[in-house]
């Protein structure tokens, strides 16, 4: 078989393209492997960063990663650092290796690449034996704007080209690496919580097995705490971040904090502490913590989410019954004069009189058991409260297991109603969405013919 001239030329072009591609790939790999560090978080002890705006060092000490700012007062404490962001910095360096070498450049010509006033200088000090310090210097962008000139102490005098996008990943102020969490909190390890207000201790909890009990106030001592509320409280606390971290002790407010939280963790001898001070007319509240002793500023609305009353923490369940014993249910709407008798069959809940499936009733009964009272219950209920809905649950032998009556009341918040359980003469304010859910299972009211 004979190839035409054009076929031969095409084959030569393809061979040359493959050769160039292979050379460039090999060159890039060689440059990356020989002249550029690929350090990980575990192998680094410190990272000194100098930008055109400031100098700071990211250091791994006995407490974790911290930020030391150059020029800070001698007694200034380091600021806790966000380990994930330091890891991202090392990843950006490791994955953005040089794409091209410009070779040895005389010292007299380095200024033309921006090295007389570098954009960023990064000194990596490893903690692993056998690895040496590496200084990376980043100059100016190439005329095309797509590449950045850089030098590495692993190849003195050499100038390399990197993708210019690395600059957005490494040219960061020290604040970028601050850990803005208020406390270094592992929620599952909390053993003892104490909340103190301006007038003294508001409430105190202690872990007992897998739950918490009240130690204070005295009226709740020994009573059960809502585990879900404690989890939510601690989760919210660990999720809230400060707006800014203060690094000097020159912003200390007068007076006592309006809110102090002490959390003793497992195996700890001293509690974690968080203090929030009165906000006044400012939009931000001042706070202090064991993690940020010089203080931080926090949005006022965020600060308010940290406050919890003893009432908020107590177990506020209203309904307790054995779901496995429920065989049937009767829902009656007083206002609509509608009744539904539901049967729990092998294939799910059914309307006994009409044979229709009642999808979702299981979920509604589960939500019923999850109801929590939203304020203190009352022992009497009068006008203008009006009965809206009644629900009875029956056992297999048609005996009443428990019953519930719901009342609407314009004196309550729009999203609440009253609930009476069984023969107990107590009325609990609960969320009224359950009324709408249960009413949704009722049959439609018959339409009256005209003239009736």
Over residues 187-196, the pLDDT tens digits come to 889 999 999 9
301 shares a domain with 263: yes
37 shares a domain with 173: yes
35 shares a domain with 150: yes
- Where does 334-407 have alpha helices with state H? 361-369
Q: Is the pLDDT of residue 34 over 60?
A: yes
279, part of any domain: yes
For 243-285, write each residue's pLDDT tens digit: 999 988 777 787 899 999 999 999 999 999 999 998 877 889 9
Give the domain range for residue 356. Answer: 323-439
Query: Which of the 8 DSSP states describes residue 244?
Result: E
pLDDT at position 30 = 44
For 336-376, write each residue's pLDDT tens digit: 889 999 999 989 999 998 889 999 999 999 999 888 888 88
CB count within 10 Å of CB 327 equals 17
User: Sign of the CA dihedral 103, 106, 108, 110?
Assistant: positive
Of the spans 105-109, 136-140, 448-452, which averages the highest pLDDT?
A: 136-140
H or E, element range at 262:
strand 259-265
pLDDT at position 57 = 97
136 shares a domain with 89: yes
Q: How many domains does the chain contain in total?
A: 3
Distance CA 214, CA 310 (A): 9
Mean pLDDT of the region 120-138:
93
Beta-sheet strand order (sheet of 328-333): 348-351, 338-345, 328-333, 386-394, 400-408, 416-421, 427-431
328 shares a domain with 294: no
Distances (CA, A) of 146 to 92, 99, 149: 17, 12, 10
Distance CA 434, CA 373 (A): 13
412, part of any domain: yes
217, part of any domain: yes
46 shares a domain with 138: yes
């Amino acid at each position: 078989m004979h190839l035409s001239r054009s076929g031969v030329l095409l084959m030569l072009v393809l061979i040359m393209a493959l050769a160039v591609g292979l050379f460039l790939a090999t060159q890039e790999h060689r440059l990356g492997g020989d002249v550029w560090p690929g350090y990980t978080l575990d192998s680094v002890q410190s990272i000194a960063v100098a930008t055109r705006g400031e100098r700071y060092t990211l250091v791994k000490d006995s407490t974790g990663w911290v930020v030391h700012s150059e020029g800070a007062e001698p007694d200034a404490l380091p600021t806790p650092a966000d380990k994930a962001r330091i890891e991202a910095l090392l990843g950006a360096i490791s994955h953005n290796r040089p794409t091209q070498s410009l070779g040895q450049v005389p010292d007299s010509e380095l200024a033309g690449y921006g090295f007389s006033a570098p954009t960023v200088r990064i000194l990596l000090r490893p903690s692993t034996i056998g690895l040496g310090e590496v200084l990376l210097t980043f100059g100016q962008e190439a005329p095309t704007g797509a590449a950045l000139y850089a030098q590495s102490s692993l190849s003195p005098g050499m100038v390399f080209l990197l993708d210019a996008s690395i600059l957005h990943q490494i040219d960061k102020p020290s604040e970028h690496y601050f850990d803005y969490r208020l406390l270094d909190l592992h929620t599952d390890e909390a053993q003892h919580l104490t909340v103190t207000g301006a007038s003294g201790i508001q409430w105190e909890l202690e872990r007992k097995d897998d739950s918490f009990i009240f130690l204070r106030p005295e009226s709740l001592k020994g009573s059960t705490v809502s585990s879900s509320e404690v989890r939510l409280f601690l989760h919210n606390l660990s999720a809230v971040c400060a707006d800014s971290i203060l690094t000097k002790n020159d912003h200390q407010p007068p007076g006592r904090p309006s809110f102090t939280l002490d959390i003793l963790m497992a195996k700890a001898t001293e509690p974690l502490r968080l203090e929030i001070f009165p906000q006044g007319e400012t939009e931000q509240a001042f706070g202090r913590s064991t993690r940020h002793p010089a203080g931080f500023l926090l949005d006022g609305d965020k600060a308010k989410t940290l406050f919890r009353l003893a009432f908020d923490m107590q177990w506020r369940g209203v309904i307790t019954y054995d779901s496995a014993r429920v065989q049937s249910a009767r829902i009656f709407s007083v206002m609509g004069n509608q009744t539904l008798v539901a049967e729990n069959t092998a294939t799910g809940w059914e309307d006994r009189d009409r044979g229709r499936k009642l999808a979702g009733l299981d979920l509604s009964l589960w939500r019923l058991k999850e109801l929590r009272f939203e304020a203190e219950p009352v022992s009497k209920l009068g006008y203008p409260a009006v009965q809206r809905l009644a629900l009875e649950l029956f056992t297999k032998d048609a005996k009443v297991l428990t019953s519930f009556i719901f009342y609407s009341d314009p004196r309550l918040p729009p999203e609440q109603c009253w609930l009476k359980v069984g023969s107990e003469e107590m009325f609990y304010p609960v969320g009224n969405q359950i009324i709408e859910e249960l009413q949704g299972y009722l049959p439609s009211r018959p339409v009256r013919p005209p003239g009736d």
